[in-house]
Structures are given as C-alpha cells and as structure tokens.
Structure 1
Amino acid sequence: MKKTLLNSPMTYALGMLAMMIPVQAFSTYYSYYYIEKLGLGVGLATLARTIYLIWDAVNQPIFGYLSDRTRTRWGRRKPWIYSAMPFFILTFVMIFAVPEGMSGMSLFIWFLAALILYETVSTILWVNYGALFPELFRGDKVRAKASAIQQAFQIVALLIGSTLTAVLFKAFGFGNMALIYGLVFAVFMWMCMASVREKEDARKDEPLKLRDAFRETLKNRDFWIFNIANSFAQTVNGLLSSIIPFYAKYVLKIEESQVPILFASVFVSVIPLVALWFLIVRKFGGVTGWRLSLGFYALAVIPLWFGQDLNSGIIAGVITGFGLAGFLVTPAVLSGQIIDRDAERTGRRREGMYTAVAGFITRSSGLISALAFWVVGMIFGYVSGDNPGPNPEATFKYLISVVPCCLLVVSFVTSLFLKITPSADRKQDTGMPI
C-alpha cells in the first residue's frame, strides 16, 4: 500500500461507498418489497421495527464498549470489521430472498428474524467504521474536507442504491440483486480496510470500565442535544428514501421504470452541493453550518407537496437535494469535536462508545419513520399494496412533505440548545493537513 493512500480520506470513503450501496437499497425498498409486493401489513412491519429497536438499544453500546476495549496488533476496529463482512452479505441476502409462498405470520417471522440479524451485523460495521473517523482525522478543517469527500462517496452510493436497484431486481429478482450488492460491498470494504492504519496512541490507554464509560457518556449534555436533533433529521432521510417509490406511484402516477429518474433528481444534485456546504462550514464553523443545514432542509422538502407528474417531481427533488447535502456534510465535524472534548476530559479516546450510542439515537429514527408511516396510513386508510385505502395520494403527500418538514423544524429548534459557540467552534480548525 502506497503511503499516500494510508489513512487517506479518499480510501477511507470507500468504506462509506461499500456500506451505503446495500444499506440504501435496503432502506429504499424493504418497505416497498414487504408491504407493497409481498402484502405484509403496515402494523406488522411497524411491530418488527419496534422489536428490533429494543434489541438495538442493547447491542449498540455493548459493541461500542467492546470495540473500545479491543487491543490487537491490527488495531481496535479492523478485526471487528473484517469478521463482520461475510455475515453482512449473508443477512442482506436473507432480507430480500424470501421463500416463495410466505404470507401473514410466517412472512412476519421471516422479516423479523432477517431484520434483527442484518441490523446486528450492520451495528458492528457502522460502530467500528464510524469510530475510525475522529481517530484518523483531527481538527475541523481536516474533518470538514474528509467529511465532504466521504459524503460525496455516500451520494454516489445513494444514487446507485436508489436508482440501479430497481433495474437489478426487475432484471434478476430481489434475491440476486442483494447478492450482487453483497459482492460489491466486499470488494470496496476490503480496499478501505487495507488502507487504514489505526493510531498507536489511541489504544495505549487503559479503557474505562463499562459503568464509568456509560456515566461519562450519559452526562455529556452537548452529545445528547446534538444526536437528538440529528435523529429527527435522520428520520427524514430514511422517510424520503422509503416513501419515494410510493410517492411516484400514487402521487406522481408514473411508471415503476421511471422511479430511478426521480431518485437521480435528488441525489445527483447533491454531489456538487456537497462542495458548497464544505465552504459554508469552513466560513461559519461546524455549529452554524449544521444549524443552517437543518433550516434549509426543512424548507427544501416543502416543494414535494406540489409534485403532480415526473417533471414537477424532478424539480422538487433537486430542491430537496440542497437541504440533504448540508445535513450529510455537517454532523461529522461536530461529532468529532464532542469526542475530542471527551478525550481531553477523561484522558481516553472512546470513539466506539460515542459512535455506538449516537448510532442508537439516530437509528431510533427508524421507529419514528415506521410510526409516522403507520399513523398517517391509519388516518387515510392505507394498509398495504393489496388494500391502499380510499386516498393513497394524500397518504404519501403527507409522508413525503408535511411530516419531514415538521420533524426538521423540531430538529432545528433542538439544535439551538447546543452550547458550543460559533467562536469556540472555529478555534477547532487545527490538525494535520491531509
């Protein structure tokens, strides 16, 4: 491995590309696949997500704690990632390789089992991959640049996972689509990990005991405000991705083959806008940039309400992409600051624990999204693709515009309680150049 590639933001970002392609395919199409195609009721789908979140509440901090305590010649994070890779492929295929003839409770049990296994392995990957970011990249300017590169790769992954997925499952079926993405994941994730060299100083200190680690994390006020605000915004990301196929069918009334064009309108526009948000963070600092991104995101989802056909849907999608780009770039800078301050206070770097607890908070957005789907569906009578109710158009107009706007307003208001001042924020612009 060339020295220029070791711990490079470019090669590190390959991990984001590797994971987000299958993850985006999952988040975009699993509801559509199980509810619309296989006929699983919205109530049972919501129950499965709720059961998963109870398990997720337990395994996230445990895996983070175990990762922080790991001491090997290869580092703290890499052994976990390498071990989880084959299981991620298997469980991802399981999600979309449902045996023929399943329905009702048997379909629910399969979905629940596959979901728990898939999310458990995903937790191991995300906790350890995310924990590497604040360790490898120190200082706001370095992190802003690394985050912009990482999010550019993420947008490419979102575009592939959203648009190409429909082409693949139409041509090869859902199970084979999942297998193809699993192999793509393995190639890019291996390339990422081959370029990572964890820092020696990060694993020399004796780790905190479990009780002390939890206590230090739980009393960090800025950490909680930051991640609670992010959880509402993250709900919007997941909600938009999962609702777009329904929005295309019931609101825009376009063919399934045109859905990739709608996804492309959102995600292609994000790619150049990531660079713009990088400049905003450089000028105003992480806190102000983060707050601005939440405010603009809330405004950007409003035009989706007025979509009537493919052309108006594309215009609304491009506008939404501007708000999405800001939220993708800005959180990593603040998260790194919070972890750095904790390391100064405790004398130990605990990226794993913070990443895990933050991951649980933000991933709990899946429950908010599922509940929103269920409640709005109940109001307008949508049950499943077999029983869409009297007004499915209103169901998905509210789910793609009104609900996201309200959630982002809550997120923005919550962000105002963060105590890191913009002046202190800009003082963090130190660190090794890339």
Structure 2
Amino acid sequence: MKKKFMNSPTAFALGMFAIMIPSTAFGSFYSYYYVEKLGLGVGLATLARTIYLIWDAVNQPLFGYLSDRTRTRYGRRRPWLISAIPLFMVTFILVFAVPEGLAGYSLFLWFLIALILYEGVATILWVNYGALFPELFKGDRLRAKASAVQQGYQIVALLIGTALTPILYDALGFGSMAAVYALVFALVMLLFLRYVREGDEARLEPPLRMKEAFRETLKNRQFWIFNIANSFAQTVNGLVSSMIPFYAKYVLHIPESQVSILLASVFVSVIPLVAVWYVIARKMGGIRSWRLSLAIYGLSVIPLGFGFNLISGIAAGVAVGFGLAGFLVTPPVVSSQIIDRDFEQTGRRREGVYTAVGGFITRSSGLIAALAFWVVGMMFGYVSGDNPGPNPEGTFRFLICVVPLGLLVLSFAISLFIRMPGVASTQRNR
C-alpha cells in the first residue's frame, strides 16, 4: 500500500493542500485585515505590493535556477522544501500578528517587511513544489488526472482557507488564526515529503550555466504567451477571493458571520466540477481545454455584478465555481507540455527555472489586483474602512465583476496566439 501511494497523484496533492490553506487565508484576508480592520490606506498597501514585486522579480528566477542546480542524494527539490517549512510558519504568523498601536507609516513598514519575508519563503515552496509536477507525471492523460486530483485537494484547502478563516479570526483573533494554519501546514507538508521521491536522472545531467538557462527560457515564445494569458486570469482568482469580504459588507449587506457561507458557495461547487474538467482536458487536450476554461470563467463572473443579498450572492458564487474549476485543472497540463518541448530541444530538465519565471509572471497578478483596487478606489472615492467614500457599494460591485470580466476577455484573446504543434505523441498517450 505504501509503495502504491508513493509518488501517486494523491500523495503529490498533499503538498498543494498544505501550502494552499495558509496561502488562501493570506490572499483572501490580508487586504481586508490591513485596509479595513487596521486602517492602512489603499495607496500605501499598493506601494508595499509594488516594492515586493521588485524583490519577487529577483528571487523567483534565482531560487528556480539554484533549485535546478541542486544535486543531493535526497533530490533537487526536497532539501529546499524541508528547510522552508519552519521559515514559512514564522513569516505567515508575522503577517497577521501585528503589534497593537501601529498606524500610518509604522503599520506600512511592518506590512512591507512581513510581506517581503513571507513571499520570499513562499517562493521557495511554490518553485520547488511546482517543479516536481512535470518530472513525476509524464503524458497528458496522467497529468490531467494528477492535476484534477491536485485541484480537488486545492479546492478543499481553498474552502478551509476562506470559509473557516472568518470563524477562526472571530473566535481567536488574526494572530492565533495564523498560528493554527501554520501548524496544519507543517504537519501535512511533512506527510507529503514522506511519500514523494524524485527520480535519479536529473542528478546525472550537468546543469546549464545561468546565462544559458535563462536565455533558453526567455526566448521561448509559447512560454511567454501562456504565462501572460495566465497572469490576467490568475489576477481574477486573487481579486475575487480578496474582494468577497468587502462585497459581502458593502454590496450584499450581510454580517461578517455569513461571509463563510458566501465563500463556501464558490468553492464547494468547484469540487465535483473538477472531475468534469478532467474529462474535458482528456478529450480536448491541454491547450483547447485551457482556452475553453478562460472563456467560461469570463462568463461565470457576470452574475456577481447583480448580487444584492445572501441568496443572490450564493447563486453568483456557484456560477463562479464552474469557471474557476476549469482554470484550476487545465494550466498544469499546458505548462508541462512547454517544459517537455524544452527538454527535447536542450536535453536538460529545467523545471525550476520555468516554474520560477512563470511563477513571477503569474504572481505579478497580485500587483495588477492591487492596482485595480487602488484605481477603482480613487474612481469611487474609497480610501479605507475608516473612509469608505460616498459609494462603497459601486466600488466593490465594479471590482468583483467588471474588472474580472475585462481581465478574462484579455486573457482569452492572448491565448489564441499560442501554438504548440509536434508535442511528442508518446507523451500524449502514456
């Protein structure tokens, strides 16, 4: 039984589950916590995110390159993942354990430092975890299955990280909530590492030099098209989840105690739909199913613009779940195809560099979301929870519907330019 579980899609998905619980709580509630609860201005929050993005532009490719060059008897990725566990626990808690009395620029400074430390360690986790996927799973069919299982676990983690978080911080406070999630992360991550092992072939390959490794990556046209399109769609994921607490308060006019119900409506509906998208990905292939998911995701956010109470909000949340499910399942299949083609051309496995550079492009979605929040806030007069302006309802109705729809239309349009003929048939049919 243990041998069968080793390197299985389920074992691999445990890593996604571990990382996504605190990551979801962070992505969904850090803006609400600092802007609405602590009174940090939207402009300062956006500035902190911009500074972080400059740091992220350096650390993402660097950690990916260092991971690819790592050669140990434990593998390339495992040593990085093991060492990151305690650091991630500490930095995640720092984000939400803000000392009392901080305000204005002192609050901004705490937020900036906590953000840089947290995101730096999160980069190590995501780069090394993501780099394992194309190495462990070969062929579109197995990858579609592994991605579906992975995303099923991700949805459960999303559900916990969003729907349970308001209950925990209401009962325990934000700092204690973060400590609980940090402990859960560590326990599940250690279980994941016990049942995932890397192959030996990468240890036998001499690594590419840094200049050559990045030159090969940066000149890959399909890689850029895919990740730029994905970055706009990924912005929607973060924007919708982070705006739901504001949407609940200012648009639906429901109490904080019902935010968990609203969040659950989005993610519970995704769980059975992951299986539907697995079938679609197998039938249509990676690129076509990914493109279809972007189109459906765009249509699914429209009902959010017409919510007015809890029931209508739940109905809109279920609609979003259908589009979200497709976008969660299909991108790993396409990105793995891109990495396979690179291996055919260079003879080197460089999952770390590709995952890191692609991760930076898609993680820049956080800045897009922050800029959208700032710009729309200025348009409607929203500054913070202490100064919501004359029309906070219009602010968050626009942010949760109009902006995501525009981003997904752009994402779909860019996806039309990707072409990847000649992916090895042996890879497709395994």
Q: State the Cα distance separating 1:322 from its structure 2 match.
A: 0.3
In structure 2, the residue matched to 1:186 is: 186
Deviation at 1:428, TM superposition (A): 3.9
Write the mapping of 1:109-128 to structure 2, written as runs, cut at 5 A. 109-128=109-128
C-alpha distance in 1 between matches for 2:2 and 2:237: 36
Check whether the contact 1:265–1:314 (CA below 8 A) recurs between aligned residues: yes
Offset of residue 424 of structure 1: 5.3
The alignment partner of 1:76 has SS state of: coil
Specify the code of the residue in structure 2 equivalent to 1:133: F
Q: CA deviation at 1:197?
A: 1.1
Contact in 2 for aligned 1:236/1:408 (Cα 8 Å) = yes
**Where do 5+ consecutive residues of structure 2 fail to align?**
none
- 1:74–1:427: structure 2 CA closer, same or farther, 3 Å change rule? closer
Corresponding position of 1:430: 429
The aligned residue for residue 174 of structure 2 is 174
- Contact (CA 8 Å) 2:29, 2:242: kept in 1 or not? yes
Could you say which residue in structure 1 is the equivalent of 2:365?
Answer: 365
Q: Is the 8 A contact 1:92 1:178 kept in 2?
A: yes
Q: Is the 8 A contact 1:287 1:425 kept in 2?
A: no
Please say if 1:297 is aligned against 2:297.
yes
Question: By how many angstroms is 1:426 displaced?
Answer: 7.4
Q: Can you list the C-alpha shifts for 1:231-281, whole angstroms capped at 9, x where unaligned?
A: 000000000010000000000000100000000110000000000000001
1:76 corresponds to 2:76: yes
TM-score norm. by structure 1 comes to 0.98
SS at match of 2:428: coil
Does residue 420 in structure 1 map to residue 427 in structure 2? no
Q: Distance in 2 between matches of 1:203 and 1:342?
A: 18
Alpha-carbon spacing, 1:246–1:275, altered in 2? closer, same or farther (3 Å): same
What is the distance in 2 between the residues matched to 1:308 and 1:404? 19
Question: Does structure 2 retain, via aligned residues, the 8 Å contact 1:285–1:426?
Answer: no
Q: Deviations over 1:167-207 (max 9, x none)?
A: 00011110000000000000110011111110101221000
Matched, 1:270 2:273: no
CA distance in 2, matches of 1:232, 1:427: 32
Residue number in structure 2 paired with 1:104? 104
Contact 1:377 1:383 in 2 (8 A): yes
Contact 1:284 1:426 in 2 (8 A): no
1:97-246 equivalences under 5 Å are 97-246=97-246
Are the counterparts in 2 of residues 135 and 202 from structure 1 also a CA contact under 8 Å? no
What letter is aligned with 2:428?
Answer: D
The corresponding residue for 1:405 is: 405
Q: How many residues align?
A: 430
Name the CA distance, whole Å, in 1 between partners of 2:204 and 2:103. 53
Question: For residue 430 of structure 1, what is the amino acid of its counterpart?
Answer: N
Task: Quote the Cα distance in structure 1 between the aligned partners of 2:140 and 2:50.
Answer: 36
The CA deviation at 1:210 is 0.2
Equivalent residue number for residue 343 of structure 1? 343
The alignment-based identity, stated in percent, is 71
For 1:43, the aligned partner's letter is G
Alignment check: 8 A CA contact 2:249 2:255 kept = yes
CA shift, 1:2, in A, is 1.5
Displacement of 1:420 after TM fit? 1.8
1:307 to 2:302 alignment: no
Q: Shift of the alpha carbon at 1:219?
A: 0.5
How far 1:5 sits from its partner (Å)? 1.3
TM-fit CA distance, 1:293: 0.1
The answer to whether the 8 Å contact 2:252/2:309 transfers is: yes
Q: Is 1:286–1:425's contact at 8 Å kept on the other side of the alignment?
A: no
Instruction: Please give the alpha-carbon distance, in whole angstroms, between the structure 2 residues aligned to 1:180 and 1:145.
Output: 31
**In the alignment, is the contact (CA less than 8 A) between 1:285 and 1:425 conserved in 2?**
no
CA distance in 1, matches of 2:153, 2:392: 34
Q: Could you tell me how far apart the structure 2 residues matched to 1:136 and 1:59 are? A: 25
- Separation of aligned partners in 2, 1:284 and 1:202: 31
Structure 1 unmatched runs, 5+: none
Q: Distance in 2 between matches of 1:141 and 1:201?
A: 22
What is the aligned partner in structure 1 of residue 86 from structure 2? 86
TM-score w.r.t. the length of structure 2 is 0.99
Task: Provide the aligned C-alpha RMSD in A.
Answer: 1.0
**AA partner of residue 363 (structure 2):** R
CA contact (8 A) 2:225 2:414 kept: yes
Write the letter of the residue equivalent to 2:240: L
Q: Equivalents in 1 of 2:387, 2:96: separation in Å?
A: 22
Q: Deviations over 1:24-80 (max 9, x none)?
A: 000010000000000000000000000000000000000000000000000000000
Give the 3 Å change call, closer, same or farther, for CA 426–282 of structure 1 in structure 2. Answer: farther
1:109-154: CA deviation from partner (whole Å, max 9, x where unpaired): 0000000000000000000000000000010000000000000000
Whether contact under 8 Å (1:139, 1:430) holds in the other structure is yes
Instruction: Name the stretch that deviates more: 412-421 or 173-182.
Output: 412-421
Offset at 1:430? 2.8
**Cα deviation, residue 427, structure 1:** 6.8
Distance 2:284 2:242 in 1: 33
**Residue type at the aligned position of 1:17:** F
User: Which amino acid in the other structure matches residue 99 of structure 1?
Assistant: P
CA contact 2:138–2:427 (8 Å) conserved in 1: no
Kept after mapping to 2: 8 A contact 1:13/1:153: yes
Conserved in 2, the CA contact under 8 Å of 1:65 and 1:352?
yes
Gap change, CA 1:395 and 1:269, over 3 Å in 2: same
- Name the CA distance, whole Å, in 2 between partners of 1:283 and 1:347: 30
Q: Distance in 2 between matches of 1:320 and 1:182?
A: 28
Tell me, in whole angstroms, the C-alpha distance in 1 between the residues paired with 2:207 and 2:61. 14
- Residue 429 of structure 1 aligns to a residue in which SS? helix
Residue type at the aligned position of 1:158: L
Letter aligned with residue 356 of structure 2: A
* C-alpha contact 2:247 2:400 (8 A) present in aligned 1: yes
CA distance, structure 2, for counterparts of residue 305 and residue 171 of structure 1: 31
